[in-house]
Structure 1
Amino acid sequence: MSCISEQNNLGDLLKYEASSLYSRDQITVAKGQNIKLGTVVAKKTDDGFIRVLNPTGTDGTQTAVGVITTDIHSKDSDMKGVIITRSAMLADHAVVWPANITEEQKNAAIKQLEGRGIIIRKGA
C-alpha cells in the first residue's frame, strides 16, 4: 500500500488574514533562490530583494519580514512574488525555517513577525 503525500498549500499555512489583501505585499525574490511556500523571509538591505531568513546575517537578512505564499524558483532571474507581511495568523506546522536555525534564533524571528502582527499558532 502506497502513501500519497501532498505538499502544503496556502490554506494549510494561512489561517487568518486581514481583508482586501492588507496582509500581503508584492515583492521581488533575488535570482538564485529556491524558496518553498511558508518559508520565513527577510529583505536584504542593499538591494531590497527577498531572501530566506539568515539569523546570522548582517545585511538585513537576519530580520524576518514575512512568509512567502508560493514556491518560488528564481534560478536565472529575479522573480515577483507575494509575502504575508502583516496582520495574519499562520499554522506553525506549515511554516518553513532555515535548516540550521537554533531555538533562540527561531524565537527571535517569531518575535520579529509578531511585531508585524503575524502570529504563528500551534495546532492552527
Structure 2
Amino acid sequence: MSTATVRAGEFLVSEANGERSRESVTLTGGPYLPGQVLGVVTASGKHTAYASGATNGTETAAVVLYGPADGSAADVSAAVIARDAEVSEVLLTGADADAIADLAAAGIISR
C-alpha cells in the first residue's frame, strides 16, 4: 500500500500563459506540500502557512505553494501561484472559507 501526496502543480486547474501566475518567495517553516495555502508574515515579508486566527499577517491567505518545500531548518526560495489561476479546492491544504475569499481577491479562483 502506498500513500500518494499531491504532486507539484497538481492542484492547478488553469493558469495564465507563461509564468505570469507564478512568483518566487522566501518561505519559512514547513515542511509543506504542493497546494499549501500561505500567508505573509508582516514583520519579515516571508511566507508561511496561512493561519486564520493569527495576528501577524498570516491570517490573510496570499498565495499557494507550487511544489514541496521545507523552510523549517532555514528559509528557502519557493515557487508559488500568486495570481491569474484556477485551483482545485479539494487539493489545497489549510484552506477555509476566509482563505478561499482572500485567494479570490488575489485572482486565484477555487473550483
Provide the TM-score with structure 2 as the length reference: 0.91
Give, in angstroms, the shift of residue 35 of structure 1: 1.4
Give, in angstroms, the shift of residue 5 of structure 1: 3.5
- Tell me the matched-pair count: 111
Q: Which residue does the alignment assign to 1:110?
A: 100
Query: Secondary structure, in 3 states, of the residue corresponding to 2:73?
Result: coil
1:7 aligns to 2:5 (yes or no): yes
Provide the TM-score with structure 1 as the length reference: 0.83
User: Which residues of 2 match residues 1-124 of structure 1 at below 5 A?
Assistant: 3-30=1-28, 32-97=29-94, 106-121=96-111
Higher helix fraction: Structure 1 or Structure 2?
1
Query: Secondary structure, in 3 states, of the residue corresponding to 2:57?
Result: coil
Provide the C-alpha distance between the structure 1 equivalents of 2:9 and 2:34, rounded to a whole number of angstroms. 11
Any unmatched runs of 5+ in structure 1?
Answer: 99-105
Higher strand fraction: Structure 1 or Structure 2?
2
Give, in angstroms, the shift of residue 7 of structure 1: 1.7
Provide the C-alpha distance between the structure 2 equivalents of 1:4 and 1:81, rounded to a whole number of angstroms. 27
Any unmatched runs of 5+ in structure 2?
Answer: none
